[in-house]
Amino acid sequence: MSLFCTREWWGTGCSRTEDFLAGGLCVGNFDGAPDGQDKIAVASLQGVLRVYQPQCRDARVEDLLLELNLQLPILQLQAGCLFKGEHQQLAILHPRSLVLYATAPSAGQAGGLALQQKCDFRLARTAASMVVGRFGETTDVDSICVQSMDGQLSFFVDGACAFECFLPGFLAPGPLCYCAAIDSLVTSSSALDVQCFRYSRLASATHTLPTQEQPSLHEATGKRLQPDWTYVLGEAPTGICFARFLADEQVGHIVVVGERSLTCLDGHGKLQLQKRLDFVPVAHVMLPAGGGRAARLLLVAPSGQLLVFGGQQLLWLAAVGLVPCAMRIGSFGGERGLLVGLEASGKLSVSYLGTKPPAPGPNSKRGAEPDYVALEAEHQQLKAAMRQAESCAPVYEDGGLLIAMQARSVSDAEAVGWPSGGSQAACVGCLVVHVLLSYLGPGQLTRLQLSLQPPAGVLCDQEIIEVAEVKATSQTPLLLPLTCWATRSSLPGSSFGVVGVYLAPGGRVCTASAALRLPLTAFCHLVAPVHTGAFKLTITTDQPPHPLTLLFADIQQSAQVAPADAGNAADVMTVQYHTGDKATLLVSKTAGRYRAQADSFEALGLLLEELVHRLNEQGAPPGQDLHIFFQDALPLQDWFALLDGHESACMEAAASRERLAQCAAQFRAAQKRLLLATADRTPVPLLYLQLMLHETAEQLRSLGDAVEASQQAVQAAGHKLAAGCRLLLLLVRYHLALPGQDVERLASHLYAQAIHMGDWEEIAKASLAHLLQTTFSDTAGKTGSAAVDAHDMKGMISFMLERLLQGARLSPA
Amino acid sequence: MEASPQANAVPAGLDPVWLANSYLTRRKFDECITLCTDLLRANPYDQAVWYIKTRALTLQDWIDDIEVEEEGVAEVLLDEHAVAKAPRPGTSLARPMTGAKGAGGGPSAAVRPMTSSGRPLTGFARPGTSARPGTSARPGTSSVEAAFGGGRPGTSRPVTSGGRFVRLGTASLNSDGSGVFINVDKLDLRKYAGRPQLARALCNYILYHEHNPKKAMELCAHATVSCNYKDWWWKAQLGKCYYQLGLLRDAEKQFLSSLKTCDIVTTSLELAKVYIRLDQPNTALEVYTQAAARHPGEVSLLLGAARVYDALNETVKGVELYKQVLQYDASNVEAIACLASFHFYTDQPEIALRFYRRLLQMGVKNAEVYNNLGLCCFYASQYDMALDCFEKAFQLADDTGMADVWYNIGQIAIGIGDLGLAYQAFKVAVSMDSSHAEALTNLGVLESRKGNLAAARSHYQAAQRAAEHAYEPWYNAALLAMREGNLEDSFKLVNKALAAFPDHTDSQELHAQLLKQFAAL
């Protein structure tokens, strides 16, 4: 609703069953009351006349002064001083009669009115409309002019019919207006124009025409009646008023309210003002000029807006509640300038222009603080729903495949079988590993490829397992059995890794991995304790020592050694690997010290790893942490010995390959010469050539065997070196108390897994050099690159360990 | 609200002709036509009743043809007027961006959304003026497609010749209960031309109800002759017939002659319409300004001139005229809306806020006003009001408006930094209107921020297809292609961006950069 509107001062409903037209509203003091208050007369098409006098705000029953059914349809209602010397009377136009009434206080009803019929004129022709005015410049009495449906104008003055005349070129009745200043009647003809007839001319053109059979065009006979002027409007006017509309010297203007425009003409038919309207006015009323200002025209648009025009300008715009069909202006209850509006539905209202401040709407929720927690929860919920609905991406970020592994060593190796590789003799003991696949996401995943990474010393029958698809299951996972054998060829590593690559339902490629710690029992068995050993390493803990029967219960239980030879199993334990190495573990009786002894450096690795793992599993009493230290000096020399061994084995292998190549060249040369000699025409003794060929072949065979042997030696040295690396890293970790991820970084730089590749040395040297140059930081900010010879592995390792000992730490990556 | 009263019985004793006339004046056309048909059945030669019925039928179908300007397919394809093939800058409506820069420019395309014909979106939706397929400058195929496209997004109902008018020839079959009321072909127009009372009503009937400008032209010609060329109305009607028939030069002659006889505002408006149709906006402006000088305070002339300035992309001059309009008519919705959008796009949201508040006070409450209010509040830093206004806009919006409201919510979300909300809002906007180019472009920008370059590229392509005139999708796609290393594509795209908006500095820089790279190759 608009802010500016009309506010109702008084309102009532006249009737719901009657039709009200624009001519049925009249405001004036037609009972001549001395206080000069206006009354409202409302007439319906059904013939009911009502007179109201609003006296104060809000209608009361007493405001209805008169309600009378005149039994004839009322076309129009006008008030005026119709008789000389009397106050205002009502003139009511019926289709075939014009009746003039005077009002007097009613005898029966206090404050009411009664009608007294003064005159009743029978009309020969059906009436269309009427207009009241002081025609002919009379000063004391109003005359009535009635327009008939066929163009006859009848004039009634002072209770008598004065004369009649016919409008020229008449087809259908249009609006009629009397302009006092120019003493003319202004009307519109069906030719969409405005015609002005002077009253004197009308009076002198009186004649009666023989009525024609057809109410068609009338030709004026005798003295032709012609309009004073005609103005082609171009559209049919809905109303004509006369007022001093523009601020100029004219005494008044003819304001024509057209269908789409507002036109203002002066008394001579000259155009003064045109204004285009973008609506069709349904009602209009002219507020007469007064108090120094020009007249104002009020128009009502069908959209429910009341526009007030003053000359060129739109002065005011207000929204009316219901669109009236007739409007007048009157003063009631002491208030002047109230708008009276009659709607076609019968509602009569008296209103004024005002404003209604907007009511505060139902904003109850504004008051309370919004519940942010609930809002946030709802927000998250909505976001989750949106994410899920938006793509079929599974809930799991990583694809949803879980791989788990279980190991079981099988004592009866015969039942399981041997690897197909043929190295049956090298395999001892058998291990069955179950790979359990469970997929938790939606749909199913396809093209799963599991690649197995058995540790050193473990042989697996398959390297890659392909699974076509894995459905989502919630109960039992998919089981893939693997068989592995421990080999005699090298000391075993402990971690069996599996990496799976697959396609998730959305088309993404995902990976999953798992690692399994293989049990120690697969790789070694208990033997009689050996108390000597060339290499010794001691681990210290801050907890009281655990007996070995507790820590290594599984090994001791699976032992095949007679209990008598076990010795003090709680303190001493010796295990023998499949390679034949033995390693011993001793526990000190008082402090938490464990010593590992073996004849070779690398054999200590697995045992110590296992010990540390089991110690950590055993844990500490609640409230304390288990700390493991290695307080001796790091056995770098032993490790360097392994390194040297590996290097020499490599060089030996390279040398034997070189020799083989030379021998092969020699063999080829001999072959060629033999061929040439055979092909030669002149016979030549070939004996020495054939001899050379045989011997070279023999040499080739033996050198080939040597190359094979050297390769195996390289492999063995590599295994030992790898084991040594692991051991070294373990010791470094507990010697320097490095955090786990630093150790992993060191391990990844050392890259012990690649020892079996040909160029491990170069890779490791380069990565260690990079590590030294980039990640080591000390307070001085030097990276120490100048002091490091990048070509010497031993030098780099010792330098690094020195720096670590001094307190430098790997800066975060 | 009271229930509408049931139809009351017509009281006895009432003259039926008077009643028919009364229905006519009360604009109850159906009752009037029914009553007149009955009366004419009784007495077929009753001219008064015939006259009333004619007027009723005319008024029923009457539309204000000074405002409606839908150009149908036929006008686009068959327009044979000798329009200058290479109009001078600033003189053609088909090439609006060539006007004088600087003072006449107004906010550039970088800040103000453009319509498909390359002029800025005005604040007021008028029929036909938002997409004007040019006659010569724009390539023919795109304008025909635009004419087929229709105004609303996603519709493809073609506007036939004559715009909203019913196709010629079928209006006479319009059932008014008694078959054909007036068989225009059988009328002796010369006879009727001599009877002014019937002639004018008949002329209006033929023009507005029968939509037969040829017949109306004959009648007008006869009538003009019979009144010795002294009647302005017949000349104006003749001009209107020529205009509807497409004989624009003849229409211009008639309107000028009518203006010489009697200076009526509607004639000036129709004359200006002719000039606009002839793609001579400066002449139309002259007509408007001269008529406005003669009729000070006539709002429609000022509005017409302001619209032409907007169409020529001289928004500053248009704004002056809108201010004058408001002096005379403080409630003119078009002027208020255009001023408000001008102030908004020139970084004065508080002033725009006042204008939109005025619209609300006047009682204009629809989704568009609330949407604009929300944006003004946001940019004027009244954040508490902004979201309330958008909520109101949601309640009132229909499908076409909803997409824009969601798009603006997305813009506000970007302004406050909530890119998640912005993403969702743009997605909703696109779901409501799949050819909303701005929302698609912004979605593309957000996707490229998230790193989904393929999705970004596809969004830009969709935006380019939806709105060829907008430079943003072309520029963004060019930038994306350049980042990916696809210099060839990037060059093509940046050229298209420059064609849409030649003053875009970023596009120009990108263009220069690409040229350097190509030269280095």
Q: In percent, how much of chain B has pLDDT > 90? A: 42
pLDDT band with cut points at 50, 70 and 90 for residue A200: confident
Cross-chain CB nearest to A190 (options B13, B201, B424): B201
What is the CATH number that goes with domain A4-209+221-355? 2.130.10.10
Does the structure show a pLDDT above 90 at B459? Answer: yes
For B129, the enclosing helix (H) or strand (E) is none
Query: 3-state class of A470 per DSSP?
Result: strand
In angstroms, the separation between the Cα of residue A128 and the nearest Cα of chain B is 6
Average pLDDT over residues A704-726: 86
Does the structure show a pLDDT above 70 at B180? Answer: no
Cα–Cα dist A754/A760, whole Å: 6
Does the domain made of A523-629 have the CATH classification 3.40.630.30? Answer: no
Question: Which residues in chain B are closer than 8 Å to A313, comparing Cβ atoms?
Answer: 297, 327-329
Delineate the domains of chain B, giving CATH numbers in brackets: 469-521 (1.25.40.10)
B452 contacts chain A (CB < 8 A): no
Average pLDDT over residues B249-274: 93
Nearest one of B418, B439, B415 to B427, comparing CA atoms: B439
B18, closest residue in chain A (CA to CA)? A128
In angstroms, the separation between the Cα of residue A227 and the nearest Cα of chain B is 15
* DSSP 8-state assignment for residue B208: I
Average pLDDT over residues A243-257: 86
Average pLDDT over residues A222-230: 78
The answer for residues whose C-beta is within 8 angstroms of residue A373's C-beta and 6 or more apart is none
32-91 in chain B: CB under 8 A from chain A: 45-48, 51-52, 55, 59, 64
Does the structure show a pLDDT above 80 at A808? Answer: no
Q: What pLDDT, on the 0 to 100 scale, is given for residue B107?
A: 61
Query: How big is chain A by its Cα radius of gyration, in Å?
Result: 61
Per-residue pLDDT tens digits for B439-454: 999 999 999 999 889 9
Does the structure show a pLDDT above 70 at A158? Answer: yes
Does the structure show a pLDDT above 80 at A45? Answer: yes
Cβ–Cβ contacts within 10 Å for residue A552, how many? 23
Q: What pLDDT, on the 0 to 100 scale, is given for residue A735?
A: 82
The answer for residues whose C-beta is within 8 angstroms of residue A695's C-beta and 6 or more apart is none
Q: What pLDDT, on the 0 to 100 scale, is given for residue B74?
A: 60
In angstroms, the separation between the Cα of residue A108 and the nearest Cα of chain B is 30
Task: Lowest mean pLDDT of A139-143, A516-520, B99-103, name the range.
Answer: B99-103
How many residues belong to chain A? 813
In angstroms, the separation between the Cα of residue A160 and the nearest Cα of chain B is 24
Cα–Cα dist B68/B162, whole Å: 10
**What's the topology of domain A401-521?**
Immunoglobulin-like (2.60.40)
Cα–Cα dist B180/B175, whole Å: 7
Cβ–Cβ contacts within 10 Å for residue B25, how many? 19
Does the structure show a pLDDT above 70 at A98? Answer: yes
Does the structure show a pLDDT above 80 at A507? Answer: no
Cα–Cα dist A115/A32, whole Å: 13
Cross-chain CB nearest to A317 (options B11, B362, B424): B362
Per-residue pLDDT tens digits for B397-451: 887 789 999 999 999 999 889 998 999 999 999 999 888 899 999 999 999 999 8
Does the structure show a pLDDT above 80 at A508? Answer: no
Q: Please say whether the beta carbons of B263 and B251 come within 8 A.
A: no
Q: Please say whether the beta carbons of A165 and A205 come within 8 A.
A: yes
In angstroms, the separation between the Cα of residue B177 and the nearest Cα of chain A is 23
Q: What pLDDT, on the 0 to 100 scale, is given for residue B172?
A: 31
Does the structure show a pLDDT above 70 at B184? Answer: yes
Average pLDDT over residues B289-294: 93
Q: What pLDDT, on the 0 to 100 scale, is given for residue B141?
A: 37
Per-residue pLDDT tens digits for B195-222: 888 889 999 999 988 888 898 999 999 9
B324, closest residue in chain A (CA to CA)? A313
Per-residue pLDDT tens digits for A331-383: 888 888 899 999 988 899 999 988 877 777 665 455 567 788 999 999 899 88
Enter the ipTM. 0.78
Nearest one of B65, B101, B115, B83 to B469, comparing CA atoms: B115
B192 contacts chain A (CB < 8 A): no
Angle between helices B383-396 and B367-379 (to 10 degrees): 160
The answer for residues whose C-beta is within 8 angstroms of residue B16's C-beta and 6 or more apart is B35, B38, B39
Does the structure show a pLDDT above 90 at A727? Answer: no
In angstroms, the separation between the Cα of residue B388 and the nearest Cα of chain A is 10
Q: What pLDDT, on the 0 to 100 scale, is given for residue B160?
A: 42
Fill in the amino acid letter for B226.
S
Test A171 with B14 for CB contact under 8 angstroms: no
Cα–Cα dist A301/B175, whole Å: 30
Cα–Cα dist A49/A44, whole Å: 7
Cα–Cα dist A451/A498, whole Å: 6
Test B21 with A45 for CB contact under 8 angstroms: no
Q: What is the pTM of this model?
A: 0.63
B17 contacts chain A (CB < 8 A): yes
Does the structure show a pLDDT above 60 at A392? Answer: no
Per-residue pLDDT tens digits for B82-141: 555 566 666 666 655 554 443 344 566 566 666 655 556 667 776 554 443 333 333 333
Test A126 with B48 for CB contact under 8 angstroms: no
A535 contacts chain B (CB < 8 A): no
Nearest one of B363, B336, B331 to A319, comparing CA atoms: B363
Give the residue with greater pLDDT, B78 vs A548: A548
Six token digits for residue B258: 């009518």
pLDDT band with cut points at 50, 70 and 90 for residue A526: confident
Question: Which residues in chain A are closer than 8 Å to B25, comparing Cβ atoms?
Answer: 22, 238
Q: In percent, how much of chain A has pLDDT > 70? A: 86
Average pLDDT over residues A453-470: 79
Q: In percent, how much of chain B has pLDDT > 70? A: 77
Fill in the amino acid letter for A446.
T
Average pLDDT over residues A453-468: 80
| Count of pairs with CB atoms under 8 A, one residue in A, one in B | 151
Q: Please say whether the beta carbons of B242 and B250 come within 8 A.
A: yes
B228 contacts chain A (CB < 8 A): no
- Encode A36-77 in three state secondary structure: CCCEEEEEECCCEEEEECCCCCCCCHHHEEEEEECCCCCCEE
Q: What pLDDT, on the 0 to 100 scale, is given for residue B153?
A: 46
Q: What pLDDT, on the 0 to 100 scale, is given for residue B73?
A: 58
Q: Which of A90-99, A496-505, A556-565 has the highest mean pLDDT?
A: A90-99
- Encode B293-326 in three state secondary structure: HHCCCCHHHHHHHHHHHHHCCCHHHHHHHHHHHH
Give the residue with greater pLDDT, B190 vs A787: B190
- Encode A739-780 in three state secondary structure: CHHHHHHHHHHHCHHHHHCCCHHHHHHHHHHHHHHHCEECCC
Angle between helices B213-226 and B196-204 (to 10 degrees): 160
Test B14 with A95 for CB contact under 8 angstroms: yes
Q: Please say whether the beta carbons of A539 and A587 come within 8 A.
A: no
Task: Lowest mean pLDDT of A130-144, A313-327, A571-585, B484-498, name the range.
Answer: A571-585
Cross-chain CB nearest to A171 (options B14, B197, B331): B197
Q: What pLDDT, on the 0 to 100 scale, is given for residue A546?
A: 78
What does residue A480 show for φ and ψ, rounded to 5 degrees?
A: -120, 115
Nearest one of B507, B504, B500 to B463, comparing CA atoms: B500
Per-residue pLDDT tens digits for A450-460: 888 877 777 78
B54, closest residue in chain A (CA to CA)? A190
For A453, the enclosing helix (H) or strand (E) is strand A444-453
